[in-house]
């Protein structure tokens, strides 16, 4: 059986639409929390192919999603480049803030070797998936990864990275090129290991003005798409520039991605316009899923009413929240699967 997700990415309308959820393997699942304890640290979990494969498969076993997504983190790329990285409970990822002088010292030569556990994870997952379930590889977009590297942690509006880009234009361009190169190679490695498609997460695309968006979001991803297509011409590439708003249209045109992931703030009328040009994915508010009940069913219905007529993948507009009740995920899937 052909994978429903790939049918949509190849431009077909499938109804009911295929469904998977960003962060579908994670803290809302008790079986994930058990594996997380075994791993000792989040980074160790990402780097242990046996445990990472188990976590990747958990939501497929429980919910029967149409795709599994590699369990990892967007910040494994700077870690592979030699930057220190740790994850603290309640604070998230922490790194030593990047200085100008650090950029030339990023260790590209060894990066793919450090990233190789992800390739092994994909092979293990692929061996256990049914023929109709796709596996998605992923990485962070250069801009979003750079924001964490420069600030050393998450910040509300990514001011440190924006200022760095304004003050040190050439250094910032060198960082973007390094991240785009290594990230593209990382995705190519995932594809060669068995990923059916890949997704590029640009979680902080929404904080940039028009010029900066073109330079930091569009240009590096366009470069990555060209590099991936040169090596793997038939593999679909989904991009998720969260918060891009009206820039979504230009992003789709200029990056050349196969499909767009949409955040929950995207008006469905605008989403349907984008869908005339390429498949779209999304875009239920994760808090509707967390709330459940009528607000959940209304959100699902509104999205389907607007987007079911062209190629569409059902997903959230960002990652599932850790506090989300499992019964709400079941309710959402029951609503989708009852469609005829």
Report yes or no: 115 and 186 within 8 Å, Cβ to Cβ: yes
Distances (CA, A) of 172 to 44, 157, 179: 30, 18, 11
User: In terms of residue numbers, what domain contains 165?
Assistant: 4-337
- Collapse the DSSP code of 282 into the 3-class scheme (helix H, G, I; strand E, B; otherwise coil) and give the result: strand
Distances (CA, A) of 311 to 11, 94, 196, 293, 323: 6, 39, 17, 27, 31
Sequential pLDDT tens for the chain (340 residues): 589 999 999 999 999 999 999 999 999 999 999 999 999 899 999 999 999 999 999 999 999 999 999 999 999 999 999 999 999 887 889 999 999 999 999 999 999 999 999 999 999 999 999 999 999 999 999 999 999 999 999 999 999 999 999 999 999 999 999 999 999 999 999 999 999 999 999 999 999 999 999 999 999 999 999 999 999 999 999 999 999 999 999 999 999 999 999 999 999 999 999 999 999 999 999 999 999 999 999 999 999 999 999 999 999 999 999 999 999 999 999 999 998 7
Report yes or no: 66 and 3 within 8 Å, Cβ to Cβ: yes
The contacts of residue 144 (CB under 8 Å, 6+ apart) are 74, 201, 202, 203, 204, 205
What DSSP string describes 127-174?
HHS-TT-EEEEEEE-HHHHHHHHHHSS--SS-HHHHHHHHH-HHHHHH
The contacts of residue 139 (CB under 8 Å, 6+ apart) are 74, 77, 183, 186, 187, 198, 200, 201
Q: Is 198 left (phi over 0), alpha (psi -120 to 50) or beta?
A: beta
Q: Which residues are catalytic?
A: 23, 27, 36, 73, 148
H-assigned helices in the chain: 4-9, 30-39, 42-47, 49-63, 76-80, 100-103, 111-128, 142-151, 159-167, 169-193, 210-213, 219-231, 247-255, 268-274, 286-291, 293-307, 326-337
Q: Cα–Cα distance between 319 and 275 in angstroms, integer?
A: 22
pLDDT score for 88: 86
Please name the residue that has the structure tokens 């494969």: 53
pLDDT score for 48: 97
pLDDT score for 2: 80
- For the chain, how many structural domains are there in total? 1
CB atoms within 10 A of CB 276: 8
CATH number at residue 213: 3.20.20.210
């Amino acid at each position: 059986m052909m994978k429903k997700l790939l049918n949509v990415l190849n431009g077909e309308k499938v109804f009911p639409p295929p469904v998977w959820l960003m962060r579908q393997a994670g803290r809302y699942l008790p079986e994930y929390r058990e594996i997380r304890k075994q791993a000792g640290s989040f980074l160790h979990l990402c780097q242990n192919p046996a445990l990472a494969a188990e976590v990747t498969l958990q939501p497929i076993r429980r919910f029967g999603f149409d795709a599994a997504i590699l369990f990892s983190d967007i910040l494994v790329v700077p870690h592979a480049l030699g930057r220190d990285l740790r994850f603290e409970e309640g604070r998230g990822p922490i790194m030593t803030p990047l200085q100008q002088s650090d950029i030339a010292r990023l260790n590209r030569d060894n990066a793919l070797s450090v990233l190789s556990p992800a390739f092994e994870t994909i092979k293990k997952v692929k061996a256990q998936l049914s023929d109709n379930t796709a596996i998605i590889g992923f990485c962070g977009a250069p801009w979003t990864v750079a924001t964490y590297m420069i600030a050393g942690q998450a910040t509300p509006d990514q001011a440190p990275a924006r200022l760095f880009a304004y003050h040190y234009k050439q250094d910032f361009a060198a960082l973007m090129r390094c991240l785009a190169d290594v990230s593209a190679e990382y995705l190519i490695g995932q594809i060669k290991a068995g990923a059916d498609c890949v997704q590029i997460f640009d979680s902080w695309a929404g904080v940039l003005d028009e010029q900066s968006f073109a330079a930091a979001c569009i240009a590096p991803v366009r470069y990555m798409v060209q590099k991936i297509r040169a090596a793997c011409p038939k593999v679909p590439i989904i991009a998720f520039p969260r918060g891009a708003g009206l820039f979504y249209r230009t992003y789709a045109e200029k990056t050349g991605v196969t499909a767009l992931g949409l955040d929950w703030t995207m008006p469905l009328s605008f989403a349907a316009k984008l869908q005339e040009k390429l498949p779209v994915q999304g875009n239920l508010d994760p808090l509707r899923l967390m709330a459940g009940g009528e607000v959940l069913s209304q959100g699902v219905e509104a999205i389907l009413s607007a987007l079911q007529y062209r190629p569409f993948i059902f997903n959230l507009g960002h990652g599932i929240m850790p506090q989300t009740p499992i019964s709400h995920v079941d309710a959402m899937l029951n609503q989708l699967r009852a469609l005829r």
